[in-house]
Amino acid sequence: MRVLAWRLVLLAAGLVAWELASDRLLPAFYISRPSAIAGRLVQAFASGAIVPHLATTLVEMVVGFSIGLPLGIAVGLLLGTFRFSARVFQPFIILLYSIPLLALAPLFILWFGVGWAPKIVLVAISVFFFVFFNTYVGARELDQDLVASLRVMGANWGEVFRKVTLPASVVWIFTGVKIAAPYALAGAVVGEMLVSRSGLGLLLMQATQMNDMAALYAVLLVIMVLGILASEAAERSERLVLRRQGRTAGG
């Protein structure tokens, strides 16, 4: 409770300082002011003007996750289980991993147009890579003592996979999802900033072009909240799944 109280005090102090500094220490043109930003936010939501843009970004995120997640899990488990293929693919994976994903945005826009598709691909690729990589490493480093003791009990490789690898992979998968969440959001927003007809990234660009600082900060705030919600959703679903498995997080 005391920690929370101090945090609120700190936040309030920061906002007041920002409000007072505006046009006194620094021109409001650059830093805007909290009251103006709050006003913009209320207006954006009250008029519903922001809703289609928010929906666009959300849909891109959700669809991108639904494509990237299962693919990442499948390829991660596959390469992590079959050592030989993992060794064959290793250099190619590192090659692809070395490209900053956002640098692929122009390419995807050329390939997939200006609509939702390139953003969905950017989200999906971010999710895919982090989930794939974590699942792959997890499956590769599966406790060999555990595997050996089940093998001696008569388990064949299929049973080891079903009864050990698969249930154990939950932790690795969620680690990947949690790391991927901010990158996925960045993928969607940057994609929209480059070229699009709708989305929070587009709003950012419009605000910048019109020198509308209050709107710019307001949209940033919305993106921030979206990022927190995405991480929180990943965190909560992990705890839920682990509890259903009888485990506590980290256990």
Partner 1 sequence: MAEPAIVLRDVTQVFPGRGAAREVIALEGVSLAVAAQEFVALVGPSGCGKSTVLNLVAGLWPPTRGEVRCTGRPVTGVNTRVGYMTQKDTLLPWRTTLANVGIALELKTRRATGWDRDRISRYIELVGLEGFEHHYPSQLSGGMRRRVALARTLIYEPETLLMDEPFGALDAQLKLVMQAELLRIWGETRNTVVFVTHDLGEAIALADRVVIFTGRPGQVKAVQPVDLPRPRDVFSIRFTPRYAELYEKLWGLLQTEVTKGESL
Q: What residue ranges bind partner 1 (CB under 8 A)?
A: 143, 145-146, 148-155, 159, 163-164, 167, 245-248, 251
Smallest gap, in angstroms, from Cβ of residue 162 to partner 1? 10
Smallest gap, in angstroms, from Cβ of residue 242 to partner 1? 8
Nearer to partner 1, 23 or 143 (CB): 143
Separation in Å, CA 160 to CA 21, 133, 139, 157, 216? 63, 21, 11, 5, 53
Angle 200-209/51-81 helices, nearest 10 degrees?
130
Region for residue 226 given its phi and psi (left: phi exceeds 0; alpha: psi -120 to 50; beta: otherwise): alpha
Nearer to partner 1, 160 or 200 (CB): 160
Nearer to partner 1, 142 or 215 (CB): 142
Separation in Å, CA 183 to CA 120, 126, 187? 12, 6, 6
Smallest gap, in angstroms, from Cβ of residue 230 to partner 1? 26
Angle at 196 between CA 191 and CA 202, to 5 degrees: 80
Nearer to partner 1, 141 or 143 (CB): 143
Smallest gap, in angstroms, from Cβ of residue 50 to partner 1? 43
Nearer to partner 1, 48 or 251 (CB): 251
Where does the chain have alpha helices with state H? 2-21, 28-31, 34-47, 51-81, 83-97, 105-112, 117-140, 144-152, 157-160, 166-194, 200-209, 213-244
Smallest gap, in angstroms, from Cβ of residue 83 to partner 1? 14
Nearer to partner 1, 48 or 250 (CB): 250
| Structure tokens, 62 | 């959700």
Smallest gap, in angstroms, from Cβ of residue 247 to partner 1? 5
Q: How many angstroms separate the first and last alpha carbons of the chain? A: 27
